[in-house]
Structure 1
Amino acid sequence: MKWLVSVVGAGLVMVTLRDLFHTLWHPTRHGGLSRLVMTALWRLAKRLRSRGRVVGLVGPLAMVTVVGMWAFTVVLGWAIVYWPHMPGAFTFSPGSKAAREPAVLDSLYLSLVTVATLGLGDIAPDEGWLRLVSPLEALVGFALLTATVSWVLEIYPALTRRRVLAIRLALLRDARPTERQLDCTAGALLLDSLATDVVRVRIDFTQYAEAYYFHDGEEHSSLAAMIGHAAVLARHGRSARLPEVRLAADLLSGALDDLATVLDERFLHTGGTPSEVFAAYAADHGRPFTPPRPPGPR
């Protein structure tokens, strides 16, 4: 029976490590529990009256919640591993009152101290297998800390790339380039660079799915509000006379279709056309999806 309880605790730790792996290191980032937490917080924030303020906190709050969930389940799982063998399989320092405490409390205390790599030493494993298992928890605690820092350092560059693309599209919307201005080598380079930026954002949504739940702030820095203008530029570029402009416009159109597919499959589930998906994306982020102003006349 003791070993069965310990196996349950080890299983809880493995579930947590699997979720951490799929959230941070798997190429497609199909996180399990973390995605559920983020989705639940996003939907809850959308229902609140002060939606604008609350939605802006969902991304950071969700990350803190997920990291806290990982830490809690790791500590709990290892405490369950220790609990059936407490206190007989452990050595207590002379004069320590820990042995007088309930076994559950001692197990939680030992797990917290070990995962935090404090190494106080007032409770130490005595049996051989526990002496091997206990340092593994310290390694997991160190990996959890490293993964949290890496997660933060990966997410914010992805958000920056998304917002830079949105601002570029906002500037182009305001500049209203004419069809003649687009029908040149510079226009081809512009459309090609936009296609590259869209592909980068598409990859970010695949590898850093949690970035979807971050609010972009003002309208001109919100990709949800500005992505429609990229479609207009692609449409006008496809009617250009120069073949290189038409090719760049086709690349941009294909990149937009691919982005719409990723958004729909992973977040929106509309089953509609790219235009419908982008409209749903804007609505989900509290942005009205109105047809952007087309480029100026020739």
Structure 2
Amino acid sequence: MKWLVSLAGAGLVMITLRDLFHTLWHPTRHGGLSRLVMTALWRLARRFRGRRRVVGLVGPLAMVTVVSMWAVTVILGWAIVYWPHMPEAFTFSPGSEAAREPALLDSVYLSLVTVATLGLGDIAPAESWLRLVSPLEALVGFALLTATVSWVLEIYPALTRRRVLAIRLALLRDSDPTTQQIDCTAGALLLDSLATEVVRVRIDFTQYAEAYYFHDGEDHSSLAAVVGYADGLARRGQAARRPEVRLAGDLLAGALRDLAAILDQRFLHTGGTSTQVFAAYADDHGRSRAQP
């Protein structure tokens, strides 16, 4: 029976590590529990009045919640591993009151100290298998800390790329170039560069799905508000006379279709056209979509 309880604790740790792996390191990053937490917080925030302020907190708050969830489940999992063998399989420092505490409390304390790599030493494993297993928890704790830092360092560059594209589209919308102005070599280069940036954002939504749950702030920096204008630019390019401009327009239109497909497949689930998906994207982020 003791070993079954310990195996249950080990299973809880493995489930957490699997979720961490799929959230941070899997190529398509299909997170499990972490994705559910973020989606639930996003939907809850959208129910509030004046939701822009509330929704703006969802991304950072969701990341903190997910990391806390990972830490708590790892600590509890290892505590369950120790619990059936406490206190007979452990040694206690002289004069320590720990041996008089409930076994579960001692197990949680030992797990917390070990995962934090504090190594206080007032409770130490005595059996050989526990002496081998206990350091693994410290390694898991170090990996969790490293993964959290890496996650933060990865997500914010992705958000920057998205906002740069949004601001660029907003500036183009304000200047409102005509079809004749686009129908030149400079116009072809413009559309081609926009297509490249859209592809980067599309990859970011694939690899950093949690970036979707970050609010972009003002309309001029919100991709949800201005992505419809990029659709209009692509159509102007496709209608141009110069072949290089038409080619660049086709590239931008294709990149936008791919972006809409990713948004619909992973977040919106409308099953509609690119125009309908972008409208749903704007609505989900509390924006009025820019007209082509």
The aligned residue for residue 59 of structure 2 is 59
Q: Is the 8 A contact 2:9 2:80 kept in 1?
A: yes
Instruction: Tell me the distance in 2 between the aligned counterparts of 1:291 and 1:122.
Output: 67
Instruction: Tell me the distance in 2 between the aligned counterparts of 1:9 and 1:47.
Output: 37
The aligned residue for residue 112 of structure 1 is 112
**Aligned-partner residue type, residue 226 of structure 2:** M
Runs of 4+ in 1 over 2 A off after TM superposition: none
Instruction: Tell me the distance in 2 between the aligned counterparts of 1:180 and 1:291.
Output: 19
Aligned residues: 292
Instruction: Tell me the distance in 1 between the aligned counterparts of 2:262 and 2:279.
Output: 14
**Corresponding position: 1:156 with 2:172:** no
Cα-to-partner distance string for 1:56-78 (whole Å, 9 max, x where unaligned): 00000000000000000000000
Report deviation, 1:181.
Answer: 1.4
Instruction: Tell me the distance in 1 between the aligned counterparts of 2:192 and 2:215.
Output: 27
The aligned residue for residue 277 of structure 2 is 277
The aligned residue for residue 296 of structure 1 is none
Instruction: Tell me the distance in 1 between the aligned counterparts of 2:176 and 2:51.
Output: 32
Report deviation, 1:288.
Answer: 1.3
Instruction: Tell me the distance in 1 between the aligned counterparts of 2:20 and 2:217.
Output: 28
Match of 1:47, SS state, is: coil
**Aligned-partner residue type, residue 223 of structure 2:** L
TM value normalised by structure 1? 0.97
The aligned residue for residue 295 of structure 1 is none
Cα-to-partner distance string for 1:39-68 (whole Å, 9 max, x where unaligned): 000000000123111000000000000000
Instruction: Tell me the distance in 1 between the aligned counterparts of 2:62 and 2:24.
Output: 14
Instruction: Tell me the distance in 1 between the aligned counterparts of 2:109 and 2:229.
Output: 56
The aligned residue for residue 194 of structure 2 is 194
The aligned residue for residue 289 of structure 2 is 289
Report deviation, 1:177.
Answer: 1.0
The aligned residue for residue 204 of structure 2 is 204
Instruction: Tell me the distance in 2 between the aligned counterparts of 1:242 and 1:64.
Output: 51
Percent identity of equivalent pairs: 84
Deviates more, 1:42-51 or 1:217-226: 42-51
**Aligned-partner residue type, residue 132 of structure 2:** L
The aligned residue for residue 253 of structure 1 is 253
Question: What does residue range 164-183 of structure 1 map to in structure 2 within 5 Å?
Answer: 164-183=164-183
Instruction: Tell me the distance in 2 between the aligned counterparts of 1:225 and 1:129.
Output: 58
Cα-to-partner distance string for 1:141-192 (whole Å, 9 max, x where unaligned): 0000000000000010000000000000000001111212111111111000
Report deviation, 1:289.
Answer: 2.2
The aligned residue for residue 124 of structure 2 is 124
**Aligned-partner residue type, residue 289 of structure 2:** F
Instruction: Tell me the distance in 1 between the aligned counterparts of 2:49 and 2:177.
Output: 39
**Corresponding position: 1:93 with 2:120:** no
The aligned residue for residue 225 of structure 1 is 225
Instruction: Tell me the distance in 2 between the aligned counterparts of 1:265 and 1:8.
Output: 35
Match of 1:260, SS state, is: helix
Q: Is the 8 A contact 2:231 2:253 kept in 1?
A: yes
**Aligned-partner residue type, residue 201 of structure 1:** V
Instruction: Tell me the distance in 2 between the aligned counterparts of 1:253 and 1:47.
Output: 34
Instruction: Tell me the distance in 2 between the aligned counterparts of 1:179 and 1:47.
Output: 41
Match of 2:91, SS state, is: strand
Deviates more, 1:146-155 or 1:45-54: 45-54
Structure 1 unaligned runs (5+)?
293-298
Instruction: Tell me the distance in 1 between the aligned counterparts of 2:94 and 2:107.
Output: 18
Report deviation, 1:242.
Answer: 1.1
Instruction: Tell me the distance in 2 between the aligned counterparts of 1:242 and 1:139.
Output: 60
TM value normalised by structure 2? 0.99
Instruction: Tell me the distance in 2 between the aligned counterparts of 1:109 and 1:103.
Output: 10
**Corresponding position: 1:144 with 2:144:** yes
Q: Is the 8 A contact 2:226 2:290 kept in 1?
A: no
Report deviation, 1:241.
Answer: 1.2
Instruction: Tell me the distance in 1 between the aligned counterparts of 2:244 and 2:50.
Output: 48
Instruction: Tell me the distance in 2 between the aligned counterparts of 1:53 and 1:178.
Output: 36
Q: Is the 8 A contact 2:92 2:124 kept in 1?
A: yes
CA RMSD, 1 decimal = 0.6
Deviates more, 1:43-52 or 1:207-216: 43-52
Report deviation, 1:244.
Answer: 0.9
Structure 2 unaligned runs (5+)?
none
The aligned residue for residue 243 of structure 1 is 243
Instruction: Tell me the distance in 2 between the aligned counterparts of 1:44 and 1:190.
Output: 39
